[in-house]
Structure 1
């Protein structure tokens, strides 16, 4: 959807939220949708974005448009939601697009790739750049239209049973790592495992895996990873700004009236902002608690970061040579990333470097 349309619809949402909804909205038919999440209910931040969306849709429609939210595994497997939406089993899903890179690596560009965009840059590419346009063209192949569904912000680098002192410690490491990053880890000598969030703790506890990453302190503490793996690393070089999406079945969406379509867009925008606000507010206290209870905090060694960057760039070049879907989207993504990094270098990074050196 073009930006002008987004602005027009956001304007309608503002009218609705102010309680001055046009009569035509009140005349709409009752609609019931089901939303399949890829996340467990225990994670109020990432799963909660779907709840926020559903509540806002209900509020803006005066209760006429209702969305029931179902946790991963309730209606279908956590990683089965794309098939569910594509086939019309459910009207929509809330998920991390990079989970489905096995279908086509281009899915990852709608979420996060190693050494990609940070959260603000990702939103800028989607809303003001060509991101939303390009990804919607791609998702059309799967009978899906996407809407922004949240962002975690830059993530942590995960939990490890043993310290990672050099690239040699990555060799043979069995690690739960989400989406596309597993391919990079494999080229570095690791053994990636793609495991849903609700199953990570037991795998780490039993020693089925040696390490695991999820999101950051708040979620990680809830999942109890610190109890079975004491070494906590940063940064999550594979997820500088992972965007979640609401995937909506194209047929179901096109059947909506213009007013209900505007409500879907407005509700997704609210959920998108709300998720990162929650993570940014909750992560600091959780990190303090984790460190206070014995978690050992480490920065990845430089040779690990250098190797990961080198392998990532090599993979992207290889994909551009063989996957036309990837090439089309990645070229635009990479150009946007280059210009954004120049800007952020002089503004955000400069400001952050100074502020973080102060004792406030």
Structure 2
């Protein structure tokens, strides 16, 4: 045999032996049993249901951004498909769908679930409470996240902060609000603790999904609605259905959205995919506030300059009256059960500390900037 033929034969023999030693062959390897697949080899396909119209600016695009991020970071091992409100479940049934495993994840607002436990409302917004920066700090560095985990574990859920819209607008009204008396009989879409404050002052709060707001306001089935701010409000065309646009958003000063994960689905993930989900939720949370700050600026100018919207400040005596009632409502919710009391105590303590510091930092700077 020639020298080249001998070397070739030896090479083939060595390769065959190596493959045999590794349990392989020179044919394509296939997995014949799922029992041999480790968690780090398995592909996970999740459904994510939301309370927002599919790809709605800001609210709807955030879960899409999250899904893309997770798929890319996981190399396709965890794939998340997003469903808008009504595509798989109705907008206000996200909590139940994730709890019972109809979907592995949800994106919504915790205050929609006050019927499950009144304490859920503290994780979206407290009237005259923490702003977006303070809320995020309380959750991630002030013990709030641990309390949220503890509360939602009772419902087979794992929560994550899922974005913030910042300080919202007070809303769109078809009547002027010049005193607290003007709130009496007002039928307004306003969820959470803000809705209870309105009720105490003689108004009628209703909970209407975002996609139905324009029609409800235009037909007169409601007299007013809060939604988010200029960016989202303009997308829904609310300026075509109401005369007056009021600020500030006393009821939602730092509205935090939530991602929820079915606890069984979460526990089934390997640690590296858990880390990817956590990183992607936090990135989504932070990027949403960036987006809203930029988009609200531009949208406000359009509403005023292109559409002639009248932007009005709520009178100081109205804000003072709302504040007084809001403090009473929050205290009553805190007293309603041990979980609520524990959560609100932590929230309130953090708010007091943040207020003291921000008076000589953020607030002092804003005052100085006006000089």
Same fold flag (TM > 0.5): yes
Conserved in 2, the CA contact under 8 Å of 1:31 and 1:64? yes
Task: State the match for 2:272 in structure 1.
Answer: 259
Separation of aligned partners in 2, 1:29 and 1:317? 48
**Which of 351, 354, 362 matches 1:337?**
351
The SS at the match of 2:48 is: strand
Please tell me whether residue 219 in structure 1 is matched to residue 232 in structure 2: yes
Task: State the match for 1:351 in structure 2.
Answer: 365
**Which of 84, 107, 122 matches 2:97?**
84
Separation of aligned partners in 1, 2:313 and 2:360? 24
Separation of aligned partners in 1, 2:270 and 2:335? 42
Separation of aligned partners in 1, 2:138 and 2:226? 26
Taking structure 2 as the reference length, the TM-score comes to 0.88
Tell me whether 189-198 or 304-313 shows the greater mean CA deviation.
304-313
| RMSD after superposition | 1.5
Conserved in 2, the CA contact under 8 Å of 1:179 and 1:194? no
Task: State the match for 2:23 in structure 1.
Answer: none
Any unmatched runs of 5+ in structure 2? 1-37
Q: How far does residue 318 in structure 1 lie from its aligned partner after superposition? A: 2.1
Separation of aligned partners in 2, 1:169 and 1:277? 35
Separation of aligned partners in 1, 2:128 and 2:316? 14
Q: How far does residue 320 in structure 1 lie from its aligned partner after superposition? A: 2.8
Separation of aligned partners in 2, 1:272 and 1:41? 18
Separation of aligned partners in 2, 1:263 and 1:99? 27
Q: Deviations over 1:272-294 (max 9, x none)?
A: 11111110011111101111121
Task: State the match for 1:314 in structure 2.
Answer: 328
Q: Deviations over 1:135-156 (max 9, x none)?
A: 1100011100111110000000
How many residue pairs get aligned? The number is: 334
Conserved in 2, the CA contact under 8 Å of 1:98 and 1:110? yes
Task: State the match for 2:296 in structure 1.
Answer: 283
Q: Deviations over 1:20-57 (max 9, x none)?
A: xxxxx995311100000011125220111101110110
The SS at the match of 2:154 is: helix
Task: State the match for 2:141 in structure 1.
Answer: 128
Tell me whether 162-171 or 25-34 shows the greater mean CA deviation.
25-34
Task: State the match for 2:54 in structure 1.
Answer: 41
Please tell me whether residue 153 in structure 1 is matched to residue 169 in structure 2: no
Conserved in 2, the CA contact under 8 Å of 1:41 and 1:71? yes
Conserved in 2, the CA contact under 8 Å of 1:26 and 1:61? no
Task: State the match for 1:17 in structure 2.
Answer: none
Taking structure 1 as the reference length, the TM-score comes to 0.90
Conserved in 1, the CA contact under 8 Å of 2:55 and 2:84? no
Larger gyration radius, structure 1 or structure 2 = 2
Tell me whether 307-316 or 89-98 shows the greater mean CA deviation.
307-316
Conserved in 2, the CA contact under 8 Å of 1:105 and 1:180? no
Task: State the match for 2:28 in structure 1.
Answer: none
Task: State the match for 2:18 in structure 1.
Answer: none
Separation of aligned partners in 1, 2:213 and 2:135? 27
**Which of 29, 42, 45 matches 2:42?**
29
Please tell me whether residue 270 in structure 1 is matched to residue 270 in structure 2: no
Q: How far does residue 178 in structure 1 lie from its aligned partner after superposition? A: 2.3
Task: State the match for 2:87 in structure 1.
Answer: 74
Any unmatched runs of 5+ in structure 1? 1-24
